[in-house]
Amino acid sequence: MPGLHLRLIGPLQSNKADQALALFDVIETLDRDKLARALAEAGMKAGVRPRVLIQLNTGEEPQKAGVIPTEADTFIARVRAEYDFDLQGLMCIPPLEEEPAMHFALLARIAARNGLEALSMGMSGDYETAVRFGATHVRVGSALFGARSGG
């Protein structure tokens, strides 16, 4: 479909990097070196330059993936130096029980000091706050399709 861009948001196993690059236009959940290496190798094999966002775990939640904020600048620099990615920006999913504004502000500060423009943050319940803090992409699936069942 012309103008349709598919974005992967969610956990990605490094052994699925080939399939992810074949299916998606942008990977929004780059969060570790092993995955960066796998995406780089898959990109070389496919002859594409992977478009990625780095996922930050702004709440430092142990059950969530993502680079913790204190390691973000180092990880961003390493990705830029070692891989031929189209690094577009950052993504986060704040903790459910916390005010999202402070997480969105943190993500925006880290992106600004690293010269990254894309900010994927905010979902159906907090997208207005995310937009106030500079979101360029919001995820509003439940507003469009309703709440998930079985969860």
- The pLDDT tens digits for 10-25 are 899 999 999 999 999 9
pLDDT at 52: 97
Mark the ranges of the chain whose per-residue pLDDT is less than 50: 143
CA distance linking residue 129 with residue 51, whole number of Å: 26
Please report the pLDDT score of residue 3 as a whole number.
79
Contact 107, 53 (CB under 8 A): no
**So what's the pLDDT on residue 138?**
82
Domains and CATH numbers, the chain: 7-140 (3.20.20.10)
Q: Which helix (H) or strand (E) holds 114?
A: none
pLDDT at site 137: 83
Q: Is 89 in contact with 111 (CB distance < 8 Å)?
A: yes
What pTM did the predictor assign?
Answer: 0.90
**Predicted pLDDT at 95:** 92
How wide is the angle at C-alpha 65 spanned by C-alphas 46 and 89, nearest 5°? 60
DSSP 3-state of 42: helix
Q: Which of 81, 85, 76, 78 is nearest to 39 (CA)?
A: 85
pLDDT confidence of residue 99: 92
Treating both helix axes as pointing N-terminal to C-terminal, what angle do 33-46 and 69-82 enclose, rounded to 10 degrees? 30
**Beta-ladder partners of 120:** 91, 137
Instruction: Give the bridge partners for 119, in sequence order.
Output: 90
Nearest by Cα to 9 from 92, 79, 69: 92
Q: Is the CB of residue 32 less than 8 Å from the CB of residue 54?
A: no
pLDDT at 128: 85
- Strands, DSSP E only, in 70-130? 86-92, 118-123
